[in-house]
Amino acid sequence: MPANTPSIKPIKAFNDNYIWAIIEPLTGQVIVVDPGQAEPVIEFLQDHNYQLTAIWITHKHFDHVGGVQALQDAYPDVQVVAHANHGVAQTDAVSEGSEFVAFNLPVPVSVPVPISVKVWQVAGHTEHHLAYLLRVAGENQNTQLHVFCGDTLFSGGCGRVFTGDMSAMYNSLQRLKNLDSSNIDGGLLIADKDIFFYPAHEYTASNLKFGLHIEADNEAMSKHLAKVQRLNEQGQASLPSSLALEKQMNVFLRTDKASVVESVLEKADNSANHEQARNKQATSHTEEHIFAMLRQLKDDF
């Protein structure tokens, strides 16, 4: 592995939250994403003799920011990267398009390829929800992208749309789905198998059950559900997930597939809430409209 490749580990919090820890192996510096609780983070740092260097926040919900103040009290020099509207005392305000370099590596350790981070606003779950896109060199000189996407994309699913802005959520997910054709790496495209998502919750199994409710014949879903259930029984995370896998089995990224469109229209038609679905002509529905109906079906599932 190249010297600057960080390792990324989940710290469990609450019932099903993950606080992702990004660990720089040469210095033991650690970045944590969305520390909803301080205690499990402090314990993790002390157990491994790591040094907390930064906190990144995706959005304002308590289970993502609840531990920030206590961590700032315990580690007064910690950098806190957040949107100005996330309700934390950030040291570095970021928003759509912000870029920065992860870790403060001393000069002798400093490596030729800096670990660069891009910030995207992916609204819908909340108005100012951010995703952090961490670009590192992979094992074969390929570029890997690690995406800390909070409650926007889950493995096999997506977050609730608390803003009510289905259009924003749809566009955010489409943006994540199209990361392999986005100009992230200075003009070079990153393969979907090298793009990894780190959502903040272990919701994969329940998402896949809903996915199979929509697409009963999707083998990628049923196969992955069996694997996730085994992992969960062993107390292990089903994450991260790759974009390649999500394209196959995340129903919210599959609203362009005929199997999903037909099933959504049929199921929405059976539900009193979905007047628009009465017209069963799939062609008259935009993909965004199918997405909105699908999200509503998940809320009611």
Report the interface residues with Zn ion, using CB under 5 A. 61, 151
CB of 61 to Zn ion, least distance (A): 4
Closest CA to 260 of 226, 205, 300, 221: 221
* Token reading at 97: 């398009």
Nearer to Zn ion, 16 or 266 (CB): 16
Instruction: Please provide residue 102's backbone torsions phi and psi, each rounded to the nearest 5 degrees.
Output: -80, 145
CB of 201 to Zn ion, least distance (A): 9
The answer for residues whose C-beta is within 8 angstroms of residue 54's C-beta and 6 or more apart is: 31, 32, 78, 79, 80, 81, 102, 103
Q: CB–CB of 273/182 below 8 Å? A: no
CA distance 233 to 237: 10
Q: Is the dihedral of CA 196, 199, 204, 208 positive or negative?
A: negative
Nearer to Zn ion, 151 or 246 (CB): 151
- Strand 116-121, strand 130-137: pairing: antiparallel
Q: CB–CB of 241/197 below 8 Å? A: yes
Nearer to Zn ion, 100 or 162 (CB): 162
Nearer to Zn ion, 50 or 197 (CB): 197
Nearer to Zn ion, 15 or 281 (CB): 15
CB of 2 to Zn ion, least distance (A): 34
CB of 143 to Zn ion, least distance (A): 29
CB of 36 to Zn ion, least distance (A): 10
